[in-house]
Amino acid sequence: TQLLEQSPQFLSIQEGENLTVYCNSSSVFSSLQWYRQEPGEGPVLLVTVVTGGEVKKLKRLTFQFGDARKDSSLHITAAQPGDTGLYLCAGSRSNDYKLSFGAGTTVTVRA
Amino acid sequence: DSGVTQTPKHLITATGQRVTLRCSPRSGDLSVYWYQQSLDQGLQFLIQYYNGEERAKGNILERFSAQQFPDLHSELNLSSLELGDSALYFCASSVSTGRTGELFFGEGSRLTVL
């Protein structure tokens, strides 16, 4: 069983549409990160959120950390083909050092 | 380029064999992490080292072992290989063990066990 559950598993949309990816858990996290991974490469960090209720914006990407620090979402506005990739959320709890990853959401943006 | 170097990039071997994967972290990074990525399990944390000492352990099999050397490079040893060990193995590094720190990942070593 994954500590972090991501949904949906796959998402295919047309260029210009919006999309939201969810990351949920029953555990409380001291911080949560979002990474993007492209084929043949390792994951690359997009953002870190640490405060419950925190919202961070990175150009067309908006990240939100739930008030209870158990969940997070990633929203992409006006998606572009360059946004295609595997989006992974990762969290660490206050009682351990390891960073646990969700299974990921594969996003495909069609031109 | 993340600055993390992993070798080899691809490895094909037979069941029962032993392999060693190597990782050189980014210059200045003291922490090294090993992850296994497979299609059905996603990215699974194996083990973390900080400045030569084991810091955290995940679901690492007893057939697997790792170490971090004084020059901070790390090796992951996989023995008595089974078909199910076929996966991408990623090394990542960070400056510290801080829980909000960014992990920089290498390009991975793709292991195929036949």
Question: What integer pLDDT is reported at residue A99 of this predicted model?
Answer: 85
Question: What integer pLDDT is reported at residue A25 of this predicted model?
Answer: 94
State the DSSP code for B84: G
**Domain topology for A5-110:** Immunoglobulin-like (2.60.40)
Helix (H, G, I), strand (E, B) or coil at A75: strand
Max distance between CA atoms of chain A, in angstroms, equals 44
Mean pLDDT throughout A59-81? 96
Delimit the domains of chain A by residue range.
Answer: 5-110
For residue B22, the one-letter residue type is R
B5 to chain A: nearest residue by CA? Answer: A42
Mean pLDDT throughout A9-20? 97
∠ CA A29-A32-A38, rounded to 5° = 145
For residue A38, the one-letter residue type is E
Label residue B112 by pLDDT band (50, 70, 90): very high
Contact between chains at A98 and B35 (C-beta distance less than 8 A): no
**Tens of pLDDT, residues B12-41:** 999 999 999 999 999 999 999 999 999 877
Question: What integer pLDDT is reported at residue B2 of this predicted model?
Answer: 85
Label residue A1 by pLDDT band (50, 70, 90): low
Label residue B59 by pLDDT band (50, 70, 90): confident
**Tens of pLDDT, residues B60-82:** 999 999 999 999 999 999 999 99
Give burial (CB, 10 Å; 0-12/13-18/19+) of A75: middle
Q: Chain B within 8 Å of A104 (Cβ-Cβ)?
A: yes
Closest CA to B49 of B72, B31, B26: B31
% of chain B exceeding 70 in pLDDT? 96
Mean pLDDT throughout B84-88? 96
Among A44, A48, A101, the residue with its CB nearest the CB of B100 is A48
Relative to beta strand A105-110, strand B42-50 is unpaired
Mean pLDDT throughout A79-100? 89
Q: Report how far apart, in Å, the C-alpha atoms of B107 and of each of A34, A45, A53, B69, B113 are.
A: 18, 14, 33, 21, 19
Question: What integer pLDDT is reported at residue B47 of this predicted model?
Answer: 94
* pLDDT beyond 90 at B52: yes
Whether B83 and B113 have beta carbons less than 8 Å apart is answered as yes
* pLDDT beyond 70 at A48: yes
Among A42, A45, A50, the residue with its CB nearest the CB of B107 is A42
* pLDDT beyond 80 at A101: yes
**With contacts defined as CB-CB under 8 Å, which chain B residues touch A45?**
102-104
Tell me the two tokens of residue B27.
Answer: 């210059």
* pLDDT beyond 80 at B57: yes
Tell me the two tokens of residue A106.
Answer: 């594969």
Whether A74 and A21 have beta carbons less than 8 Å apart is answered as yes
